Structure 1
């Protein structure tokens, strides 16, 4: 009996690949650095029963039009804004993702990014390596205090709650804005629910952890940055589309806000000549929020399990649920 074809758009950990090979004939785009070209994916998907994808792939209606045999889509990610889920559902194709697994790892990275930005760690390391450090100076490379500062979290989901938990160790005052209140977070972590405007005005650090959607597109723009303190630090570890990058560039360049740390960009990979990357008060990372060895392997295996369940016509362990 001919095995069903599984298309994998990136070389994934062997633990996950071994599972897939037990359940189908696997085609893999074997590249560490490059996303599979869209045209190649369109060609390979024509006779595929399953698609194992990542955040950099565009899974749109046109691609699905070329996939008459597709039975399941599984993404090795929590977010799925790169996938036309509604179109997939219309065709009876379940979509799986990997929530929960990366919560603590992403919270670690988010807080590390906050600290690196506040204390100018990347800039200081470059300063030393470039031979510029000649003597100790009272105000050399001074940054912002974290301990005892006010942290504002936009999007108090699992990751937001984990970031807030870390902040308690720094005796930070925690504000949050969310679609709905989280009384349990208020009770256990002392977080205070407030309006977006109040959060922006009062916070020393604003951390954006909202999911990507039409409602959150450019949630942080010119008006929002102007409401922040001139000494404030902005951190985005959610999705790049949630931020108006031109507005952020102008806010950083003019001193409207003090600094920013980004793990995500609106277009990824971000171009090396992007204006934001020219700014000394920006710390930029290549979307490594969940990039610990342990977490990425767990994500890869769960994505494989979602895919296999779909091929078996079984409920996916973690299927994307949208209204």
Structure 2
């Protein structure tokens, strides 16, 4: 715990009513099952509680980090200074005609299956993406030829002063695994997806096919952060890594998956340092062999131990 007791006491007062933990180990919240502690970890249950957290971080000049479902993230072994906030308790999903409105903490998988129940097509690609709605918007998540920007209508966001307003999807600069949400310092509170009515069986058939492809090809039996690298123009990251002879290669407890070369798995109690070292090894090897720079899709945050 790196916060002095005086600040801790003030935060406990400012965040009264909010579910808060101090010096909380983060590995249990991440798909990689590794990472150091957060000074403060807050779980607001309402928009008003989100405002409390935002305003407390600003009042005490503490960095504020949002944690989604922990599926595309590595936290370094030294942990995270300041406040980490999870919106997992804000997870409602509703419909309005052919639109679905989902709170930031809802999983995008759950939203895709909600759409299936309503015979609404457009989110089938998301049926295997293990992230939240907020995280999916943040990185314009996608899979199997579909991505969030294909069906996102608008988002409701909160800025650093606690003000809440709607933003059209066209204003988010959604690109390949990117948006301007971080640049704008916005907190995504909810998203509206515009879908289209088709037969339930057609949607289910597509989702079943994508689920089978995912389970048969991805190393779901080990902790991982999912696909580590973005797709280089004209190439596939996994193929380049495989052709570099890196499958099964590792450092410490982390290694390149033998099932899918685009994944790095926590094979045996890996540290974040192990994981990052394998990422760098892969980047260096592929660069040397093919002259191609692999850009990370996974985010790496926090401090060294």
TM-score range, shorter chain: under 0.3
Structure with the largest fraction of helix: 1
TM-score (norm 1): 0.26
Greater strand fraction, Structure 1 or Structure 2: 2
